[in-house]
Structure 1
């Protein structure tokens, strides 16, 4: 994974430190949820707007459904909720998906919202040949095909996770980008992630208030040397949550980490080590496992997971990540702490891994616990970690192995355990 010198913006470190978990912090009183203010997980535009149903009768519809379609329903006494193809911390889904289609069958040239609740694409505005969302990308080149944009709606997450929610918004945006990547892999089409975008301009165009902001784009369109201009109109503001409580720390975190520096481009598009049909089925079946049996996985299965997790991520701001492994139950591999092929510490560390993940049994029972660390531009860094998380999910699912992302851990104690000063971005458990 890429290495480059980087001078971080101070507030990224400030925000990260302010939202660290410790043994004491998670035991402090005051962390409660007010069910009367629970935000809606669905954004809905006017019923009068044109909707295109995402039935599987053309490639773009199949692609969009694989990105964020509803794949399961969970029912409990007095409550029911729906799961999607993209993972989300607490199934809160603090992101929205918008896209531009140009020259695409069954879709008038225009700007759309992916309305998950109705499994449809809502046409927000038609566009001409010389205007579009392409103008908000750094190169401004005119795209033919699909340009997808991911926003963050932080109150959906901060309602439960409070100040730490900005981390989850970024991780879940990365999960969405990972779902889009997997859908593109199934099709066999090239793609790239765009972080060097005019987020402020996009926020104004979409009519976002402080409740929602743009994060990144997923580009799978062909582009020409012609450039386009931003539309001369703006879209009407629509409430994404129904309720809202502002969080100054999170909003400052977004503003202070918006400007990027020292970006390096990664142009290589990898090929997933799975048959497209197997990968497509894994997208639909993927779930977060809640318990492991303790049955081992094989070294070959782990290598296939790593082959995909460590493959290049094509983007215009590729950040450096490290993937540590606490190996507990892998046939043919010594238990202990690993970084790549290097055994850093040998022995049974399963209990320690479980403790570090806020004493969750998932960290103890799994075959492998991953810890993802890194430094760099905060928004691309965290979104890449989320994308790697989705790769881990799908690589495990494609082999009949369970997986679960873990966004809560004792930050500083994990750093000490790993022997690194890098930010801990994500933990992840896989096993049977």
Structure 2
């Protein structure tokens, strides 16, 4: 399917919420019709059970591990290290492993539900490098993040591409957290031949690649494209196509990101405490309307200033609305600068589609961007959101992401012409 003329800006405009649009389409769904949230290859594929005493296995496992199971309204949910809008989990992880002892060189699907790697393609002189970093070979790991979009569009309809991309960014954040705990550097890559890779991985129109993370030794070596197209396996038990999402994805997949110099962040997390934070991370469901310390708020802002390890990026600016931070004037801030003072808790609650979380939090952070690549900007917003999750929980406060807001009214309140991509709430 050739790319359409739906730009990232046009897609974002077409999927805006307003008070009227939400009232006209409250978007109720029947939970009994929810598509499956786990992709499983046929039983005859070769599998490697993840052994957590093996450092390589542990590194891969912690990028997507199930950390808690619950039943809500008779529906079972398996919560993971990576958050997901509506706990729908559209993202899947594939990892190419090359040059690692006791592991066959190949492309593996991470089977999250069963804690195993499924070998879906054995390498010879070919691999993912030719799509992502032509002319080089990676001794180590190439993680691919994909989206099975119907898991999200089942509930969120046309706006679901936003959620898929934000979830992809969060999943990259989970990869980065596992890399940190295993003392490995990673590089995020957003600009590569996603459309060709979708075709050769056999995804048809039901799944798409959004981003990549590389960790390992980069060698100057020519690697050819996959010599065989992979058999198709659907990531849901049934599928309903959304042509608008498919067209929007295809066009935005071809947009080029801005460039920057690759730089690794420098964190100082205590390993055992940070591991427990990764394991225990949850989205808060309600706040007690208590204040947080100014040091806690500033700690989060400092985390956001750390470099994002990528050469392809989009700048994302942070506006915050402070409700309850000791020692700070309530109001709208850009960075640490007060833009306008006032108690805006009811206003932010309204703007976020009347969600109590946005009203009762200690502070809400809005991410805005004037991008050239929509996919990159949204994923970086999700990646930064994951930092806020882990940083907040690490210092003992709570957090949640919010993807639903009245777009134009939020822009007007923030006094910006840039698109609002995401919101994060923190507090107690």
Please state if 1:398 is matched with 2:412: no
Give the corresponding residue for 1:88.
Answer: 84
Instruction: Report which stretch shifted further, 183-192 or 23-32.
Output: 23-32
- For residue 30 of structure 1, report the CA deviation from its aligned partner: 6.7
**Distance in 2 (alpha carbons) for counterparts of 1:270 and 1:114:** 26
- For residue 266 of structure 1, report the CA deviation from its aligned partner: 3.6
- For residue 31 of structure 1, report the CA deviation from its aligned partner: 2.4
Give the corresponding residue for 1:170.
Answer: 165
Please state if 1:426 is matched with 2:422: yes
Please state if 1:363 is matched with 2:363: no
* Total equivalences in the alignment: 423
Give the corresponding residue for 2:309.
Answer: 314
**Distance in 1 (alpha carbons) for counterparts of 2:257 and 2:426:** 34
Give the corresponding residue for 1:74.
Answer: 70
Give the corresponding residue for 1:4.
Answer: none
Match of 1:156 among 143, 151, 154: 151
Match of 1:239 among 229, 234, 258: 234
**Distance in 2 (alpha carbons) for counterparts of 1:67 and 1:411:** 32
Runs (5+) with no aligned partner, structure 2: none
**Distance in 2 (alpha carbons) for counterparts of 1:421 and 1:370:** 17
Please state if 1:352 is matched with 2:308: no
Runs (5+) with no aligned partner, structure 1: 1-8
**Distance in 2 (alpha carbons) for counterparts of 1:197 and 1:183:** 24
Instruction: Report which stretch shifted further, 32-41 or 276-285.
Output: 32-41
Task: Tell me: CA distance 1:30–1:428, structure 2 relative to 1, closer, same or farther (3 Å).
Answer: closer
* CA deviation vs aligned residue, 1:37-84 (integer Å, no higher than 9, x gap): 421100000111221222311222212222111000112352211101
* CA deviation vs aligned residue, 1:373-392 (integer Å, no higher than 9, x gap): 10211001100000011100
Give the corresponding residue for 2:181.
Answer: 186
* CA deviation vs aligned residue, 1:400-420 (integer Å, no higher than 9, x gap): 111010000010000000000
**Distance in 2 (alpha carbons) for counterparts of 1:77 and 1:161:** 19
Give the corresponding residue for 1:141.
Answer: 136
Give the corresponding residue for 2:258.
Answer: 263
Match of 2:55 among 52, 59, 73: 59
Which segments of structure 1 move beyond 6 Å, counting only runs of 4 or more?
none
Task: Tell me: CA distance 1:106–1:236, structure 2 relative to 1, closer, same or farther (3 Å).
Answer: same
Give the corresponding residue for 2:38.
Answer: 42
Is the 8 Å Cα contact of residues 193 and 219 (structure 1) preserved in structure 2?
Answer: yes
Give the corresponding residue for 1:6.
Answer: none
Alignment root-mean-square deviation, CA = 1.4
- For residue 16 of structure 1, report the CA deviation from its aligned partner: 0.7
Is the 8 Å Cα contact of residues 45 and 238 (structure 1) preserved in structure 2?
Answer: yes
**Distance in 1 (alpha carbons) for counterparts of 2:242 and 2:223:** 36
TM-score by length of 1: 0.95
- For residue 137 of structure 1, report the CA deviation from its aligned partner: 1.0
Give the corresponding residue for 2:288.
Answer: 293
Give the corresponding residue for 1:253.
Answer: 248
